[in-house]
């Protein structure tokens, strides 16, 4: 264990190569908080998955900044606290999983850099490459969608996920399915539907989808269980699963047959691993979701996706799918649709200082270095 000396919060903004539209909004830039931590032994980096708006969850950058600065940092600055002890250290702060996960990522990175071990090894990763999918935002036209899908398939992606919203769903998905009868294809509604829309799901059920992700409200496990009973296609939950307890409840209720694991949504990599472990024990496949992360968060996602229960391709796409220039060396997709899991100490990536400086729009240092 080593003392946490200082923290540096940065808000960065990076243009996306193309706008990303979901049922809850559109992003043209990636705006995220990065955390650099200095301990007596090493430095570590964390990336917060919150965005500028509270559209995906209650957390958003302005609020996560305050949570990190005023509520989480004072509980750990100057203390000898390990990543395993963070849950206890943060017990007085309810919720805010994305802010908490940022601290955990930075602390794990520092600890493992100090120890010379990779994050993947620490978490119990068993693969050195992971299968990758790609998530395609809602496009202005069907033609744009077909063109994007074509391009991603040519790059080697092993699963295509289409964002849907009421009114832009069955017809689009059918067009992609007809153009590509044999690909792994899934849809993601980001909680935009209700049980009144059951006919939409019955129609989607005919299209041989790998899964239908988060069709209903994130607060509603019971109705997901009802919908799942009506469909052959597995439901996958994302926003509804904020902890291992949520995952256990969803699986027991039959609210889903697949779980999307995002470390930020569930409060960190260690909780993510608990969800992996219980899903594996229950025979429920999991996959690693994505939140348009820079190379820092992407490194953590790939380490997680190396665990044995991650049997479905994740939203772990290559850097060039998001950015013209990533903040780390770029993550590259092999033509076989896999990506290498970082093997260096900690996250295994080093952010480029000059790129970080250029992207920074706000900076605050806490504690003495
Ligand atoms: O490739 O990282 C990626 C994006 C994958 O579709 C994706 N993410 O709902 O899962 C989601 C969605 C998302 C993106 C959610 C950004 C919130 C913010």
Nearest to 92 by CA among 107, 71, 108, 117: 71
Given a cut of 90, whether residue 349 has pLDDT beyond it is yes
Could you report the per-residue pLDDT of 207-216, keeping only the tens digit for each?
999 999 999 9
Angstrom CA distances, 221 to 22, 202, 262, stand at 22, 19, 18
Q: How far apart are CA 196 and CA 199, in angstroms?
A: 8
Average pLDDT over residues 323-348: 98
User: Which is the closest atom of ligand 1 to the Cα of 190?
Assistant: 9
Q: Residue 234 — very low, low, confident or very high, per pLDDT cuts 50/70/90? A: very high
Domain 121-340 CATH (choose: 3.40.50.1370, 3.30.420.40, 3.20.20.120, 3.40.50.2000) = 3.20.20.120
Q: Residue 32 — very low, low, confident or very high, per pLDDT cuts 50/70/90? A: very high
User: Which is the closest atom of ligand 1 to the Cα of 239?
Assistant: 9
Could you report the per-residue pLDDT of 161-177, keeping only the tens digit for each?
999 999 999 999 999 99
CATH number of 4-116+352-367: 3.30.390.10
| pTM beyond 0.85 | yes
Nearest to 242 by CA among 216, 275, 215: 275
Q: Which residue has the least CA distance to atom 15 on ligand 1?
A: 291
**Core vs surface per residue 153-186: b (16+ CB within 10 A) or e:** bebbbbbbbbbbbeebbbebbeebbeeeeebbbb
Mode of pairing for the β-strands spanning 184-188 and 211-213: parallel
Residue spans in the chain of domains classed CATH 3.20.20.120 = 121-340
From the CA of 291, how far away is ligand 1's center (Å)?
4
Given CA atoms 20, 26, 31, 33 in this order, what sign does their dihedral have? negative
For ligand 1, mutation pick of 137, 187, 237, 289 (most atoms within 8 Å of CB): 289
Which pLDDT score is estimated for 39? 97
Q: Which residue has the least CA distance to atom 6 on ligand 1?
A: 135
Q: What's phi and psi for 165, nearest 5 deg?
A: -150, 160
Residue spans in the chain of domains classed CATH 3.30.390.10 = 4-116+352-367
């Amino acid at each position: 264990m080593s003392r946490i000396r200082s923290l540096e919060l940065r808000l960065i903004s990076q243009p996306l190569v193309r706008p990303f539209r979901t049922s809850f909004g559109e992003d043209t830039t990636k705006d995220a908080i990065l955390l650099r931590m200095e301990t007596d032994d090493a430095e570590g980096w964390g990336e917060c998955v919150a965005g500028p708006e509270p559209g995906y969850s209650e957390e958003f950058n302005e609020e996560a900044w305050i949570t990190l600065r005023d509520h989480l940092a004072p509980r750990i600055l100057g203390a000898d606290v390990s990543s395993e002890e963070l849950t206890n250290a943060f017990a007085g702060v309810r919720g805010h999983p994305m802010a908490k996960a940022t601290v955990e990522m930075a602390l794990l990175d520092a600890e493992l850099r100090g120890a010379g071990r990779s994050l993947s090894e620490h978490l119990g990763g068993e693969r050195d490459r992971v299968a990758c999918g790609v998530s395609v935002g809602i496009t202005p036209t069907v033609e744009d969608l077909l063109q994007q899908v074509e391009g991603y398939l040519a790059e080697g992606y092993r699963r295509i996920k289409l964002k849907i919203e009421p009114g832009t769903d069955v017809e689009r998905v059918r067009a992609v399915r007809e153009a590509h009868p044999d690909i792994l294809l899934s849809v993601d509604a980001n909680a935009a539907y209700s049980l009144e829309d059951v006919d939409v799901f019955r129609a989607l059920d005919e299209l041989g989808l790998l899964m239908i992700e988060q069709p209903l409200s994130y607060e509603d496990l019971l109705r997901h269980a009802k919908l799942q009973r009506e469909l052959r296609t597995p439901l996958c939950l994302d926003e509804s699963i904020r902890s291992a307890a949520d995952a256990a409840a969803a699986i027991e209720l039959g609210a889903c047959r697949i779980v999307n694991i995002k470390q930020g949504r569930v409060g960190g990599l260690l909780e993510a691993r608990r969800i992996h472990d219980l899903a594996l024990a229950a025979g429920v496949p999991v996959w690693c979701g994505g939140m348009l992360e820079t190379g820092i968060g992407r490194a953590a996602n790939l380490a997680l996706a190396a665990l044995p229960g991650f049997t479905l391709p994740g939203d772990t796409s290559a850097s060039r799918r998001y950015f013209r220039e990533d903040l780390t060396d770029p993550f590259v997709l092999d033509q076989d649709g896999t990506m290498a899991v970082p093997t260096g100490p900690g996250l295994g990536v080093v952010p480029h200082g000059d790129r970080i400086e250029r992207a920074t729009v706000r900076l605050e240092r806490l504690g003495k270095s």
